[in-house]
Amino acid sequence: MEVIWAPWRMEYILSDQKAGECIFCPGVDRKRDEQRLILFAGPLTMIMMNRFPYINGHLLVSPVRHVPDLSGLSGEERLDLMDMVDKSVTVLKKVMGPEGFNIGLNLGKVAGAGVESHMHFHIVPRWAGDTNYMSVLAEVRVIPEHIRETYSKLLPHFKEFNPISGGDA
Categorize the per-residue pLDDT at 169 as very low, low, confident or very high, splitting at 50, 70 and 90.
very low
Which of 58, 118, 120, 122 is catalytic? The answer is: 120
Report CA dihedral (28, 34, 36, 37) to the nearest 10 degrees: 120
- Is the pLDDT confidence value at 123 over 70? yes
pLDDT at site 94 = 97
Within-domain flag for 15: no
58 is known as an active-site residue: no
Position 14 scores a pLDDT of 57
* Most confident residue range from 15-19, 32-36, 86-90, 127-131: 86-90
- Beta strands 38-41; 59-63: pairing state: unpaired
Whichever domain contains 92, its CATH number is 3.30.428.10
In 3D, which of 65, 22, 19, 18 has the Cα closest to residue 41? 65
pLDDT confidence of 122, banded at 50, 70, 90? very high
Interval 110-115 mean pLDDT: 76
Q: State the total domains in the chain.
A: 1
Global pTM reads 0.78
Pairing label, strands 45-49, 38-41: antiparallel
Check pLDDT > 80 for residue 132: no
Q: Is residue 168 part of a domain?
A: no
Structural domain includes residue 6: no
C-alpha atoms less than 13 angstroms from C-alpha of 125 in its C-beta half-sphere:
23
Yes or no: say if 60 and 115 are a contact pair by the CB < 8 Å rule: no
pLDDT, average across residues 63-72: 93
Domain of 55?
Answer: 33-158
111 has a pLDDT exceeding 80: no
